[in-house]
Chains A and B, each alone.
Chain A
């Protein structure tokens, strides 16, 4: 089975975010980056499928130069090779990183040439959280898709997948290959790169393609006027407080005493 896993590099989970002076985006200058966690689950599912059924796992990422480290990490975890669509416009205030359709078109162009059996993406990204790239990608590639997938089973013809629904329900779906799946977190335990893996990764192929070249080569479609109806990001800001939060301070014992007081007199659970 040839599996392509599309990953994204996002600001580290605990990063302290600063808004850029013009308020249009965050200040990326001192941020640490890591692989989007849902994408790590997609990679894990791909690696497990390869271990069971053989084949190849290819990691794919569209991003600026720093994104190569996410791909090297994927190689260290076990991917066979990697493709980096280099696009500096996808960092900073570059609208490109927030252009879902444009990005999906780039990825689709790179994927078409590879003709995979399966394409996996994470369910959504920890930064923008749009949760759409995978579904749009399936649409552009003309393949069936399913989202919120926890587990993939290869069948005689096609696959059967376990999809998560709200409120503790699940569903099985059967579909033919080639297909695209967006992977929900928690279906597997994540493996991490070992020293051996990191060593091996150095010998694996990491191919870089310029986004501009892909855009020129592919029939990436107009986007212009038709896309204007989509709202685009204008500014970012700290959320206005919905609630008036009473912050409690002091030593741990003092805070505990204050909380117990609230629990007794105001919340009335003691």
Chain B
């Protein structure tokens, strides 16, 4: 079970606990129930082991041959049936590329928009009608935060409150919080319930192929101890040599934010971010990188971050341990010189 899925469940648990609601999970796929009901002690391990003792009311296993491969139509139709039947107050997703592909359509079928890429949930603030939570999102590429709140108790024609759809940013909640509190809790059987969906082949309008990689990954940024990363601030392709010199001096791998790779100045292999590699080196030096959300998500786990940027309000400084507001064209060559001098 992917880490980000566990984090979404942790977010759901937080909501449920604060609002006094039950929290359940739904898993889609063709064979999601494999190993489902086996107690941990039997030695069988399934993707649900991570959820033992997590206090979920139910885990719905939605199985259908047409769900074997992900399609927006398949997932939207299947989840619509689940949500229509159980009428949850909140539907929580991990903010993955897959969720971005179908969750907005699913929410729209219930007349809702998706509250996407939420970084935090707050409770108990004055003026909150009926104790509704505040969902925090990032705006303007991370320069500002925004508080989102439901405006009133929602009631659809049938009287049951309409669902609020939320997707959670990677790293916003901790998967560790799901760890069972005791060995007994860990040995609990997983409360799985199969949910049958009606799905016909002609409802699926797209034909996806199996995922592939373009070429063998030549650079493994994930194993680099030190990374020097370059962003738009470098202005021209030939200026990258300046940053390469710093990387060489530090014995570091060179990486880049997406726009540098989009422009073809560095290969996609060197991209750090949600579409590229996620890294957590000992040291990450961000040169001329503003710190857009898609980039931060790929490097905020770095042990130490040094950021050099001429804009003091650049979001990169929020994840930096050491920051320099200045001209990289002056600072980087001086830094390279100083490093080489120290190394002798």
Contact = CB atoms under 8 A, between A and B. Distances in A.
Interface of A: 11, 14, 16-17, 19, 26, 99-101, 104, 126-132, 135-136, 138-140, 144-148, 163-176, 184-186, 189, 221-223, 225-243, 245-248, 252-253, 255-257, 259-260, 262-264, 266-270
Interface of B: 72-73, 96-97, 100-102, 104-105, 107-117, 132, 134-135, 137-156, 161-166, 205-214, 217, 225-226, 250, 258-259, 261-264, 268-269, 274-278, 282-283, 293, 303-304, 306-307, 311, 313, 315, 317-327, 330-331, 333-335, 337-339, 342-343
Contact of A185 (B152, B262, B269): B262
Given A169-B213, A226-B162, A238-B145, A259 B338 contact: yes
Given A235-B147, A257-B338, A259-B306, A252 B326 contact: yes
A269 B246 CA distance: 13
B100 A173 contact: no
Contacts of B209: 171-173
* Residue of A130, A164, A237 with most partner-chain B CB within 10 A: A130
B150 A229 contact: yes
Nearest to A254: B334
B149 A234 contact: yes
B211 A169 contact: yes
Given A243-B321, A246-B321, A270-B343, A255 B334 contact: yes
Nearest to B114: A132
Contact of A259 (B107, B207, B335): B335
* Residue of B110, B217, B264, B306 with most partner-chain A CB within 10 A: B306
A228 B152 contact: yes
Contacts of B148: 231-234
A164 B275 contact: yes
B144 A236 contact: yes
A222 to B, nearest CB: 8
Contacts of A164: 97, 275
A148 B283 contact: no
B84 to A, nearest CB: 13
A101 B261 contact: no
Contacts of A229: 112, 150, 154, 161-164
A126 B333 CA distance: 32
Given A166-B275, A229-B164, A233-B146, A253 B334 contact: yes
Contacts of B337: 256
Given A171-B211, A171-B212, A239-B142, A231 B152 contact: no
B106 to A, nearest CB: 9
Contact of B144 (A237, A245, A260): A237
Given A168-B213, A171-B211, A255-B326, A227 B342 contact: no
B154 A255 contact: no
A169 B138 CA distance: 26
A248 B342 contact: no
Contacts of A163: 208
10 contacts: A130-B114, A136-B108, A147-B100, A148-B97, A166-B275, A167-B276, A175-B205, A236-B144, A243-B318, A253-B338
Contacts of B269: 168
Contact of B113 (A132, A240, A262): A132
B141 to A, nearest CB: 6
B330 A252 contact: yes
B323 A245 contact: yes
Contact of B156 (A168, A226, A236, A255): A226
Given A223-B111, A269-B226, A170 B145 contact: no
A269 B283 contact: yes
Nearest to A134: B104
A132 B116 contact: yes
B164 A230 contact: yes
A252 B337 CA distance: 11
B139 A225 contact: no
Given A186-B261, A241-B318, A225 B156 contact: yes
